[in-house]
């Protein structure tokens, strides 16, 4: 009968080592979020244009969409 292998013991670290590791993880996470935000910001205009194209196609000539609050752009149906 096989015996269960013993789990590997956790490496003991001092509090400052844990904080150093936490700081590096947070910096990496914030950098990834910032890069993702920058990439998304560069393509927001083409996505918005594509998204509202069916609505702008049926608007009368020389008119445009008007949103009086931020969330109204999502509730145009």
CB 56 within 8 A of CB 65: yes
- Residue keyed to tokens 């009368």: 60
Mean pLDDT of 55-64: 84
| Residue range 23-58, pLDDT digits in tens | 999 999 999 999 999 998 898 888 888 888 888 888
**Residue 57 burial by CB count (10 A; 0-12/13-18/19+): exposed, middle or buried?**
exposed
- Which pair of tokens denotes residue 55? 């609505």
CB 36 within 8 A of CB 30: no
Residue-range domain boundaries for the chain:
15-74
């Amino acid at each position: 009968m096989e015996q269960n292998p013993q789990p590997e013991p956790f490496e003991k670290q001092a509090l400052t080592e844990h904080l150093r590791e936490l700081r590096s993880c947070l910096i990496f996470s914030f950098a990834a979020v910032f890069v993702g935000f920058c990439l998304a910001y560069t393509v927001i205009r083409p996505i918005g244009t594509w998204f509202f194209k069916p609505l702008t196609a049926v608007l009368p000539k020389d008119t445009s969409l008007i949103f009086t609050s931020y969330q109204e752009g999502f509730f145009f149906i």
